[in-house]
Amino acid sequence: MKFLRHGAPGAEKPGLLADDGTIRDLSGHVADLSGAALAPDALKALGGIDVSGLPVVDAGTRLGACVAGTGKFICIGLNFSDHAAETGASVPPEPVIFMKATSAIVGPNDEVRIPRGSEKTDWEVELGVVIGKTAKYVSETEALDYVAGYCVSHDVSERAFQTERAGQWTKGKSCDTFGPIGPWLVTKDEITDPQNLGMWLKVNGETMQDGSSKTMVYGVAFLVSYLSQFMSLHPGDVISTGTPPGVGLGMKPPRFLKDGDVVELGIEGLGTQKQTFRADR
């Protein structure tokens, strides 16, 4: 199933994408796509509802982030061998972990704001993994049992904030609107192999990234297990698993986003996003 959240910012309602392409409202059956509603069995029950009886949502309605109640937005750096190579970095011996502030989360087609003082705002299409039930000290073989599903995640980054100023990467990753997720939360039963998904991104119609999750160094099951050794993963937590090559930082010369640029991105089976970037005055 493809679940989603629709409506104005801060007032989103749960819904799903029907087979006929219409958006159907689920607010009569569940308060939101958060907490216990994200458990695999709960999502399966929602998917079993007779769609024909659900209200149809206007086609032009805004889509919000596809999951609510995200407590942790965990990102994995340099997790694609070909991306590490383009940045001149070595493949890390263990996953590089950093946090993205949950206040960065926005809908898949919302405007993204280039922060004041930014000169190096960059793009990164990533596979997002949404946790469905609490995971702590789980093995790699059982890790996917704790996954609700997958989504497109855009790990927008300000490279100067990230690497040229003292401290950790977080401040270059957590600017307001730097975390579009969605359009859909696609349940894991629809994704046969999360390690074989085409991923792409365009800037102003020009293809910049054209890769696949098959070149991930550390796969989804490994990452869920690995992270659960250090912290409990809770329903609604999102893991953004890294990006394939083609980011602006890796170009010669580097290329970054400016006011008015339009970025489109998508992942096979998970839908697409489209954002206009605007300078934050």
pLDDT, residue 91, reads 79
When pLDDT is cut at 50, 70 and 90, the band that residue 169 belongs to is: confident
Q: Is the peptide bond before 93 cis (omega within 30 degrees of 0)?
A: no
Q: Are residues 195 and 259 in the same domain?
A: yes
How far apart are the C-alpha atoms of 123 and 265, rounded to whole Å? 10
pLDDT tens profile 85-104: 776 777 789 999 999 999 99
Q: Note whether 4 and 185 are within 8 A (CB).
A: yes
Distances (CA, A) of 133 to 129, 138, 234: 12, 12, 6
The position carrying tokens 């079993």 is 48
Q: Are residues 105 and 211 in the same domain?
A: yes
**Residue 177 included in any domain:** yes
Q: Classify strands 262-267 and 238-240 as parallel, antiparallel or unpaired.
A: unpaired
**Residue 64 included in any domain:** no
pLDDT tens profile 38-72: 999 999 999 999 999 999 999 899 999 999 999 99
**Residue 67 included in any domain:** no
Q: Are residues 23 and 51 in the same domain?
A: yes
pLDDT, residue 83, reads 67
CATH number of the domain that residue 123 is part of? 3.90.850.10
pLDDT tens profile 121-149: 999 999 999 999 999 999 999 999 999 99
Q: Does position 84 have pLDDT exceeding 80, yes or no?
A: no
- Please count the structural domains in the chain: 2
Count CA within 13 A, CB hemisphere, residue 188. Answer: 20
Q: Are residues 83 and 50 in the same domain?
A: no
How far apart are the C-alpha atoms of 72 and 218, rounded to whole Å? 19
**Residue 224 included in any domain:** yes
Rg (CA), the chain: 18
**Residue 68 included in any domain:** no
Q: Are residues 163 and 79 in the same domain?
A: yes
Segments of 26-175 assigned E as strands: 56-57, 73-77, 96-99, 105-106, 112-114, 121-122, 125-131, 147-154, 157-158
Mean per-residue pLDDT for 252-270? 97
Domain that holds residue 46: 2-57
Mean per-residue pLDDT for 22-46? 96
Q: Are residues 190 and 248 in the same domain?
A: yes
Q: Are residues 128 and 20 in the same domain?
A: no
pLDDT tens profile 199-252: 999 999 999 999 999 999 999 999 999 999 999 999 999 999 999 999 999 999
- Residue 120 one-letter amino acid: K
pLDDT tens profile 172-205: 999 999 999 999 999 999 999 999 999 999 999 9
Boundary of a domain, candidates 14, 30, 57: 57
**Residue 65 included in any domain:** no
> What is this structure's pTM?
0.96
What is the 8-class DSSP label of residue 161? I
Q: Are residues 13 and 116 in the same domain?
A: no
Q: Are residues 92 and 157 in the same domain?
A: yes
Q: Note whether 207 and 7 are within 8 A (CB).
A: no
Q: Are residues 52 and 82 in the same domain?
A: no
What is the 8-class DSSP label of residue 191? -
Q: Classify strands 105-106 and 96-99 as parallel, antiparallel or unpaired.
A: unpaired
Boundary of a domain, candidates 31, 57, 83: 57
Q: Are residues 53 and 185 in the same domain?
A: no
Q: Are residues 130 and 33 in the same domain?
A: no
pLDDT, residue 101, reads 97
**Residue 66 included in any domain:** no
- For 263, the token pair is 């970025």
